[in-house]
Amino acid sequence: MDGNGRWAKQQGMARVFGHRNGVKAVRETAEASAELGIEYLTLFAFSTENWNRPAMEVNALMKLLVDTLSKEVETLNENDIRLEAIGDLDKLPAKSHKALLKGIEDTKTNSRMTMILALNYSARWEIVEAARKMAIEVKEGKLDARQIEDKTFENYLTTKNYPDPELMIRTSGEQRISNYLLWQLAYTELYFTDVLWPDFRKQHLYEALIDFQSRERRFGKTSEQLA
Ligand code: FPP
């Protein structure tokens, strides 16, 4: 969800104004995704590296998260959307952590779509954590190192209960992965748009999905093998 800061700057406003308007785009994207039958929507809301931003911006983002989660649980329930989160959640400020856990608890029986917030998340953190957990289990004799395969590794990732993403959308003209779901994106289609996140609306999601539909997903095979 990139481009909030630039969007605010264009309007002569503080960066936080962009984040606040980014919430509208989150609402539209979540609603449109659920309407279309998309089962999993993951939003990169705060990266491990985002702690390095000015304290004022970090605090405002954390407050925005608490306020939004408290306000939007009703909308999530109306849309039958279950909230979940990935990342180093224990290190979030206590208030944000509490609001997040409450949002997850209050929506846990919803089943139309799962909306996963990546919070205090970075893919390298996740991969290192998985390696650490596996190493400990090997040492304790609970895991046989010779039996470790792709599938084993996946079970130690924060996304173990979710399928790999089919499409990744990055806004604001940046064409990077920026430490996001590095393992899971192996065969994901990437879509980049110049639209700044606060301007992202249903129509932009539809454009991304139409583009996605024209892609040939070969998963390493040849075109002829797919026919
Ligand atoms: C990146 O744009 C955006 C963020 C670091 C924050 C995204 C968070 C929200 C939109 C709030 C979402 C709230 C919920 C509950 C999901 P940037 O600040 O890096 O923009 P720039 O590249 O223009 O500086």
User: Is there an atom of ligand 1 within 6 Å of 26 CB?
Assistant: yes
The single-letter DSSP state of residue 197 is: G
- Structure tokens given for 86: 């990935």
CA distances from 226 to 176, 216, 219 (A): 29, 9, 10
Tell me the CA–centroid distance for residue 153 and ligand 1, in Å: 30
Among the options 4, 21, 50, 80, which is catalytic? 50
Contacts of 184 (CB under 8 A, 6+ apart): 157, 159, 164, 165
Among 162, 170, 213, smallest CA distance to 190 is for 170
Residue ranges in 40-177 assigned as alpha helix (H): 55-78, 94-106, 123-139, 150-154
User: Is there an atom of ligand 1 within 6 Å of 77 CB?
Assistant: no
Strands of the sheet with 81-86, listed across from one edge: 40-47, 113-121, 81-86
Among the options 2, 4, 79, 110, which is catalytic? 2
Look up the pTM and report it.
0.95
pLDDT tens across 14-65, in order?
999 999 999 999 999 999 999 999 999 999 999 999 999 999 999 999 999 9
Residue type, 84: E
5 close to 50: Cβ distance less than 8 angstroms = no
147 close to 116: Cβ distance less than 8 angstroms = no
- For the chain, which residues make up each domain, given as ranges? 4-122+163-212
- 50 included as an active-site residue: yes
User: What crossing angle do the helices spanning 94-106 and 55-78 adopt, rounded to 10°?
Assistant: 10
Residue 165 CA to residue 53 CA, distance in Å, equals 28
User: Is there an atom of ligand 1 within 6 Å of 6 CB?
Assistant: yes
From 6, 11, 17, 19, the mutation candidate for ligand 1 (largest count of ligand atoms within 8 A of CB) is: 19
User: Is there an atom of ligand 1 within 6 Å of 65 CB?
Assistant: yes
**Mind listing the pLDDT tens digit of every residue in the chain (227 residues)?**
999 999 999 999 999 999 999 999 999 999 999 999 999 999 999 999 999 999 999 999 999 998 999 999 999 999 999 999 999 999 999 999 999 999 999 999 999 999 999 999 999 999 999 999 999 999 999 999 999 999 999 999 999 999 999 999 999 999 999 999 999 999 999 999 999 999 999 999 999 999 999 998 888 888 888 87
pLDDT for the residue 179: 98
Tell me the CA–centroid distance for residue 52 and ligand 1, in Å: 14
User: Is there an atom of ligand 1 within 6 Å of 117 CB?
Assistant: yes
User: What crossing angle do the helices spanning 202-213 and 15-36 adopt, rounded to 10°?
Assistant: 60
- Give the number of other CB atoms < 10 A from CB of residue 2: 21
- 150 included as an active-site residue: no
CA distances from 151 to 53, 128, 147 (A): 36, 16, 10
Residue 212 CA to residue 187 CA, distance in Å, equals 13
**Beta bridge pairs of residue 81:** 113
pLDDT for the residue 217: 80
Topology, domain 4-122+163-212: Undecaprenyl pyrophosphate synthetase (3.40.1180)
pLDDT for the residue 227: 79
